[in-house]
Amino acid sequence: MTERGASANQLVCRPCFEFQSFVRRIENNGIYVTDLPPYVEEQYVYNFFSQFGRIADFYLADNGLYCLVNFYDNQSLQHVLSYPVSMYDMRLRIKKRRQNNNPNAENDLPSYHKELLNLLSKKNTFKEQAEEFFKLLAADESDFNSRRQVCRDLEYALKSLSSLYKIQPFGSSVNGLAFKDSDLDIFFGKEPDTNGPDISNLLNKVTKLLSRDPHFISVQPVPNARVPIVKLVHKATGCSCDLSFKNTMGVQNSKLIKFLTTLDERIKPLFMIVKFWAKLHHLTGKRFSNYALIMLLTNFLQSLNEPILPPLRVLKSNDAERIKIADWTVNFDYDGTRVRPTSNVLPVEELLTRFFQCLVKTDFENYVVSPLEGALIHKGHFHHMELPSDMEDYVSYVNRGNQTIKLDSAICIQDPIELNLNLTKNVSKHDFQSFKEHCHVAVQISYREPPHLFLPKLLSNVYLYPSQDGRKSWHINPMHVPLKPLRPFMTLSVPFPETEEVKLLWRNELVQKLKLILKKVLKIDVEHQMNKESKPGADQNLICKGSQVLWRGRDELWNRWYLKKNDILKCDNRNEEEVQVVFQGGQNAQGGQNAQGGQNAQGGQNAQGSSRKRKSNEEVAESKKVKLDQPHDLEEDIIIIESPETDSPHEQTAKNTSLIRSLQEEINLTNDMVRRKHALPASLPILRFSCNVCMDSHGARIEISDVRSLNNYFNSLCSFLQNFIVRHTTQVGSE
């Protein structure tokens, strides 16, 4: 079962499907513009074409040779194509964008994807799944030997050129994040840099030499890219290569990333899983590079409460002689002893979830991601040049009249070496919106699925999958559900009672009542965390963990037992005061503690000296009790009854009574639900949340925050607690 128009071997998650449908629609209204005036500013070109209609997407090449403009509607396209267009008295060449003959080609999944999901489904822990992930996908020693063979053949093919030119691999093949099918990136040029008109001449010479060499096929030059390259394929190994000439910045970046992955064993798995996830959903490649994604992840690991990575300025070399390439300092001190060990012990799966949460919540519109500083810097500081001292290279570069960093993109990630470079300057708002929607869905999966299903669902391409109960119905894969707002937090207010004067005592009673609700009504384990140095009246924090669902179906079960009580009253002609509803689960093992009737007769203590009067009173009380838990009702009571459209008088009375049950009655009801197995059995905790009780001028504020609950149980629990807690705590202090 897949999205309409997509085959089974294509990725069809809803964010991908909707975004790519949008892209195809606007590209049908797109133009390709060349012969632009030299040194024209990007904003001027954008404003110029805005006069023809509303622009959906815009891209101007770094070298200014061409631009792409996509309009929202076809009328704007026809308008711009209807007559000659000139800019600064220069005639522009405008053509309609060519359409992709195979629009689903970019959705084709790698051949190993089905095998990957099959292997992941057989493992029961995230750690085991990550190991299978690396065995199947990560480049091994044979892959690196093939890449070394490519470099040797390139050196031999290009040996007729100057001996000053060197072959230097960079990218994933050097930084350790390569997959088996990753391309090989190679720098070919002089040390320390290759600049000026030599690049065009060198590219032509290299293209001719490699076209004649039998070791390489599909040699294709790309001279107009920001970094001119030659694309080729190594015939013996089938390895695809990108040969670049401009500078060695890629080599320096690769060294930096390789060092970062050695600082903590969790970093490499996190980087590679996110990289593959982004590749699978086509979030990286064209405008959002893998290097930009790694820098985004680096900044995330720097910004945790207990950072795993330090700000990269810490690694800046203190040597008197700095190595500079094109105005930028490139030498870092790759000495691990300068980096303090982290106290963060979060597992990879938790870091993965928090990364997606961070992407959803962060204000990228107003802040710049700076791995150099390990923080977010407000864009206003760049406008006013109020920057940290570690950015002195950038300040001096701009003061010499050079271009500042581009800040008007949907997300701005500053390169830690080329400080004036925004790594995501060409990412449109539509591209980044699709990225954030994928992150949002990933967060929902982490909340709904147990840990061992998180990774398979995250990397799944199946739109629908069979239900687990064996029926022929189908459930929607969580990766493809419509996005809904997350609700990981809820606040409740409990006002001070009118007669309460001692607020501290009232707060302590409230905390005890709250713990009683969590422990006895919902069967949740509660750990009361208190700081020994905290003052009286400080916030009270409860750490909660539970594995049963006891908040669903309570009213339906109570109504049924209440109706049985009314039937007994009617048949036996007894007064309501003479009958008490007793739940067997609310009695102790000795049958002596009656929780409902308010009579604390302790049946387990049959002292020989008890008076006949007391026994007589107990017998009278016992005769008034009616047990409603007969064996023949057990099967029936497990099923939740749907309420009829019209209620009988008895049913309406039962509903009204369900709203005013006492807390002790709720506890008895819970015990009976557990006895009847009405609670959801779970081998693992399905609820993990914190409950913080704070004081303010009007009363108490109860803040309930989700930590890691499964299957969206936290939202359902909050809906129950929202009225339940207030109803049973407003009388605290006045009882």
Can 17-96 and 141-246 be said to share one CATH topology? no
- Average confidence (pLDDT) over 441-467: 69
Domain 17-96 bears CATH identifier 3.30.70.330: yes
Distances (CA, A) of 200 to 5, 155, 227, 248, 418: 44, 20, 11, 17, 23
Residue 729 contacts residue 523 (beta carbons within 8 Å): no
C-alpha to C-alpha distance for 439 and 461, rounded to whole angstroms:
15
Question: Structurally, what CATH architecture does the domain formed by 141-246 represent?
Answer: 2-Layer Sandwich (3.30)
Distances (CA, A) of 105 to 25, 97, 463, 650, 703: 16, 18, 18, 64, 49
Residue 508 contacts residue 695 (beta carbons within 8 Å): no
Torsion angle of C-alpha atoms 679, 682, 683, 684, degrees rounded to 10: -120
- The one-letter amino acid at 62: D
> Which residue has better confidence, 604 or 572?
572
C-alpha to C-alpha distance for 256 and 247, rounded to whole angstroms:
16
Please say if the pLDDT value at position 467 is more than 50.
no
pLDDT grade for 294, boundaries at 50, 70 and 90: very high
What integer pLDDT is reported at residue 412 of this predicted model? 95
What integer pLDDT is reported at residue 660 of this predicted model? 65
pLDDT digits (tens, 9 = 90+) for 198-207: 677 888 888 9
C-alpha to C-alpha distance for 552 and 12, rounded to whole angstroms:
35
**Pairing mode, strands 216-222 and 489-495:** unpaired
User: Which tokens sit at 338?
Assistant: 């300068």
What integer pLDDT is reported at residue 530 of this predicted model? 63
Question: How large a percentage of the chain has pLDDT more than 70?
Answer: 70
What is the DSSP annotation of 232-245?
EEETTT--EEEEE-
pLDDT digits (tens, 9 = 90+) for 170-183: 888 888 899 988 88
What integer pLDDT is reported at residue 299 of this predicted model? 94
Q: Which fold has domain 490-553+683-733?
A: Ubiquitin Conjugating Enzyme (3.10.110)
Cα–Cα nearest to 298, from 358, 338, 349, 346? 358
Measured in whole angstroms, the distance separating CA 197 from the mean position of its chain's CA atoms is: 46
Where residue 653 falls (left for φ over 0; alpha for ψ -120 to 50; beta otherwise) is alpha
- Average confidence (pLDDT) over 379-395: 89
C-alpha to C-alpha distance for 590 and 592, rounded to whole angstroms:
5
Give the domain ranges of the chain: 17-96, 141-246, 265-336+349-476, 490-553+683-733
Please name the helix (run of DSSP H) or strand (run of DSSP E) that holds residue 581, with its range, or none.
strand 580-582
User: Which tokens sit at 551?
Assistant: 């908040």
Mean model confidence pLDDT for the chain: 75
> Which residue has better confidence, 74 or 730?
74
- Average confidence (pLDDT) over 582-587: 42
Question: Structurally, what CATH architecture does the domain formed by 265-336+349-476 represent?
Answer: Orthogonal Bundle (1.10)
What integer pLDDT is reported at residue 670 of this predicted model? 87
Helix axes 113-121, 451-458, angle to 10 degrees: 170
- Average confidence (pLDDT) over 360-377: 90
pLDDT grade for 159, boundaries at 50, 70 and 90: confident
pLDDT digits (tens, 9 = 90+) for 327-361: 888 878 777 777 888 888 888 988 998 999 888 88
What integer pLDDT is reported at residue 602 of this predicted model? 42
Cα–Cα nearest to 249, from 160, 185, 183? 185
**Pairing mode, strands 625-627 and 580-582:** parallel
Helical residues (DSSP H) of 158-261, grouped into ranges: 172-175, 198-212, 249-261
User: Which tokens sit at 141?
Assistant: 């020693």
Please name the helix (run of DSSP H) or strand (run of DSSP E) that holds residue 280, with its range, or none.
helix 267-280
**Pairing mode, strands 489-495 and 580-582:** unpaired
User: Which tokens sit at 199?
Assistant: 């690049």
pLDDT grade for 620, boundaries at 50, 70 and 90: very low
Cα–Cα nearest to 435, from 538, 224, 286? 286
> Which residue has better confidence, 669 or 411?
411
Please say if the pLDDT value at position 465 is more than 70.
no
Distances (CA, A) of 548 to 97, 173, 226, 583, 719: 58, 48, 58, 20, 16
DSSP class of residue 30 equals: E
What integer pLDDT is reported at residue 642 of this predicted model? 30
Q: Which range among 143-152, 449-458, 616-625, 683-692 shows the weakest confidence by mean pLDDT?
A: 616-625
C-alpha to C-alpha distance for 64 and 66, rounded to whole angstroms:
6
C-alpha to C-alpha distance for 721 and 699, rounded to whole angstroms:
18
Helical residues (DSSP H) of 384-502, grouped into ranges: 392-399, 429-448, 451-458
- Average confidence (pLDDT) over 203-222: 89
pTM of the model: 0.58
pLDDT digits (tens, 9 = 90+) for 308-336: 999 998 887 665 467 777 788 887 877 77
Q: Which range among 14-28, 243-257, 310-324, 669-683 shows the weakest confidence by mean pLDDT?
A: 14-28
Residue 444 contacts residue 715 (beta carbons within 8 Å): no
Please say if the pLDDT value at position 619 is more than 60.
no
- Average confidence (pLDDT) over 156-175: 84
- Average confidence (pLDDT) over 517-536: 77
Residue with tokens 């039998």: 214
Please name the helix (run of DSSP H) or strand (run of DSSP E) that holds residue 76, with its range, or none.
helix 74-81
What is the DSSP annotation of 120-157?
HHT-SSHHHHHHHHHHHHB--HHHHHHHHHHHHHHHHH
Torsion angle of C-alpha atoms 283, 288, 289, 293, degrees rounded to 10: -80
Q: Which range among 234-243, 365-374, 500-509 shows the weakest confidence by mean pLDDT?
A: 500-509
First to last CA, the chain: 59
Helix axes 126-137, 348-361, angle to 10 degrees: 90
Please say if the pLDDT value at position 260 is more than 90.
yes
Q: Which range among 338-342, 543-547, 563-567, 727-731 shows the weakest confidence by mean pLDDT?
A: 563-567
- Average confidence (pLDDT) over 626-650: 36
C-alpha to C-alpha distance for 62 and 704, rounded to whole angstroms:
50
User: Which tokens sit at 16?
Assistant: 């991908």
Please say if the pLDDT value at position 531 is more than 90.
no
Please say if the pLDDT value at position 190 is more than 80.
no
Residue 242 contacts residue 168 (beta carbons within 8 Å): no
